[in-house]
Amino acid sequence: MAGNDHPTVGLDETVHQRHRLGILTITSRASQADFGYLRETLGLTPGNLSTHLTVLEEAGLVQVQKGYEGRRPRTWVSITRQGRAALAAEMAALAKLASQLNGDHGSADDGET
Amino acid sequence: MTEPTQSSAAEMLGEMRALGRQAARTGHGYWLPLLIFGVLIAASLPLYLVSTAATYGYARIGGPVLPFLGTAIMPRYSGGDWIGLYWFVAMQAGIVATWLWYRWRGSRIGLRMPTRGFLVTGLAVVELALLVSLVAPRVGLPLFGDLFIRDTFPLVLIVVPLAVLAWIERSPALAVITVGYAGLALLASLYNVENILFRLGWNPFTSGQGSALVGLPNVALPALLLLLAGAASYAAGYRRRRRQAR
């Protein structure tokens, strides 16, 4: 029965990776995030960030736009509608999983009294 | 995929919420729009002084139905002032300046806020006001006169771009400022604020320019609120950046 599914069933392998989830979280708060901002905020090397972006872009969760501002190359990342939906689903699954922890603690406390 | 434990799920959830909050805080740039609209309101003060003096300190009952364009465009409602034209230009200038500010700031900090909706909504509100002000008198569209007789309805319209900004920035602080400003702007449109100040001991008629100063508080107080809120928001952001830099 769907209602009895374990919360981990709702976790998406592409999204459920700390840094990729971080990229989606940040880009969901803005229209576009710069490659440099993401790298600094998430504490990643350029190579690592590029790899994660490629995974997300291939899954259709983000769009990567490369260009120049003056003579300076800049890469802007934006979340897609599909990316927003995946982020919302992942956060809901995490919240459900985390709330189970509190529920289990509550049951354990009940048992002790 | 490795099976996440419940504690790691809670930890990751907390971490992502913190990241989201940090990104939202970094994107906050509303202090300048508050100052821009505060300055635009303050700059309109001389027009209101002239307008109020010309009518001996009383609102022109039966005056402009929608004074957004005021007398420059609708001379038959003329009270001899330029308030309408001023606001028509100033509102659009304020909205475009705010949009340009977010564009510039977004490029500088590496985080662009979705302000295209702000630009479109803000300009649409101004154009809609223009349309209503032109059409309403011709078709006898009933408008709530009390809201328009003091020529301060543009102050109420400013609530719209501020509310859109609060939504875009997901900023509870800006939402609170906007609600406070909306209250003051409505008060300024529906009531002679001078009455309140008179009870507190302020009597403009003792200054010798009484009638000209009567309308002053209706415009000055909303301007003051936005200027103070803008300055306080800038100071709070500056302190936070200093703390993070340490």
**pLDDT, tens digit, 9 for 90 and up, residues B131-173:** 877 777 677 766 656 677 677 888 889 999 999 999 998 899 9
Could you tell me the pTM of the whole model? Answer: 0.79
B interface test, pick of A69, A87, A90, A94 with most B CB neighbours within 10 Å:
A94
Q: How high is the pLDDT of residue B61?
A: 35
Q: Residue A75 forms beta bridges with which residues?
A: A66
| Start-to-end C-alpha separation, chain B | 39
- How many domains is chain B built from? 1
Spatial distance between the Cα atoms of B78 and B191, rounded to a whole number of angstroms: 22
Q: Identify whether B186 is part of a domain.
A: yes
Spatial distance between the Cα atoms of B73 and B58, rounded to a whole number of angstroms: 22
Q: Which residues contact A63 (CB under 8 A, 6 or more apart)?
A: A57, A77, A78, A79, A80
Chain A CB within 8 Å of residue B25 CB? no
**Mean pLDDT in consecutive groups of 10 residues from the start of chain A, 113 residues:** 54 83 95 95 94 95 91 93 94 86 52 37
Token pair 């799920």 is found at B9
A43: left (phi over 0), alpha (psi -120 to 50) or beta: left
Residue B109 domain boundaries:
32-238
Chain B CB within 8 Å of residue A18 CB? yes
Chain A CB within 8 Å of residue B2 CB? no
Q: Identify whether B192 is part of a domain.
A: yes
Interface of A with B in 69-108 (CB under 8 A): 69, 76, 91, 94-95, 97-98, 100-101, 104
Q: Residue B111 forms beta bridges with which residues?
A: A33
Spatial distance between the Cα atoms of B119 and B234, rounded to a whole number of angstroms: 22
The shortest CB-CB distance from B111 to any of A22, A37, A104 is to A37
Chain B CB within 8 Å of residue A12 CB? no
Q: How high is the pLDDT of residue B173?
A: 94
Give the ipTM of the model, two decimals please: 0.77
DSSP per-residue string spanning A50-106: HHHHHHHHHTTSEEEEEEEETTEEEEEEEE-HHHHHHHHHHHHHHHHHHHHHHHHHH
Domains, in order of start, for chain A = 9-100 (1.10.10.10)
Instruction: Tell me the longest C-alpha to C-alpha distance in chain A.
Output: 69
Spatial distance between the Cα atoms of A89 and A91, rounded to a whole number of angstroms: 6
Token pair 């354990």 is found at A108
A interface test, pick of B2, B22, B112 with most A CB neighbours within 10 Å:
B112
Q: What are the chain B neighbours of A9 within 8 Å (beta carbons)?
A: none
Q: How high is the pLDDT of residue B154?
A: 87
Nearest residue on chain B to A25, alpha-carbon basis: B20
Q: Identify whether B12 is part of a domain.
A: no
Are A8 and B3 an interchain contact pair (Cβ–Cβ within 8 Å)? Answer: yes
Work out the minimum CA distance from A23 to partner chain B, whole angstroms: 9
Work out the minimum CA distance from B30 to partner chain A, whole angstroms: 15
The shortest CB-CB distance from B16 to any of A32, A91, A104 is to A91
Q: Identify whether B172 is part of a domain.
A: yes
Are B4 and A11 an interchain contact pair (Cβ–Cβ within 8 Å)? Answer: yes
* Number of cross-chain residue pairs from A and B with Cβ atoms under 8 Å apart: 84
Which residues of chain B are under the pLDDT cut of 50?
1-2, 56-68, 70-80
Phi, then psi, of B60 in degrees rounded to 5: -80, 90
Are A91 and B4 an interchain contact pair (Cβ–Cβ within 8 Å)? Answer: no
Chain B CB within 8 Å of residue A22 CB? yes
Among residues B32, B33, B28, B38, the alpha carbon closest in space to that of B226 is found at: B38
Work out the minimum CA distance from B7 to partner chain A, whole angstroms: 7
| The two structure tokens encoding residue B100 | 């340009």
| The two structure tokens encoding residue B200 | 């507190």
DSSP per-residue string spanning B40-99: HHHHTHHHHHHHHHHTTTS--TT--SSTTSHHHH-GGG--S--HHHHHHHHHHHHHHHHH
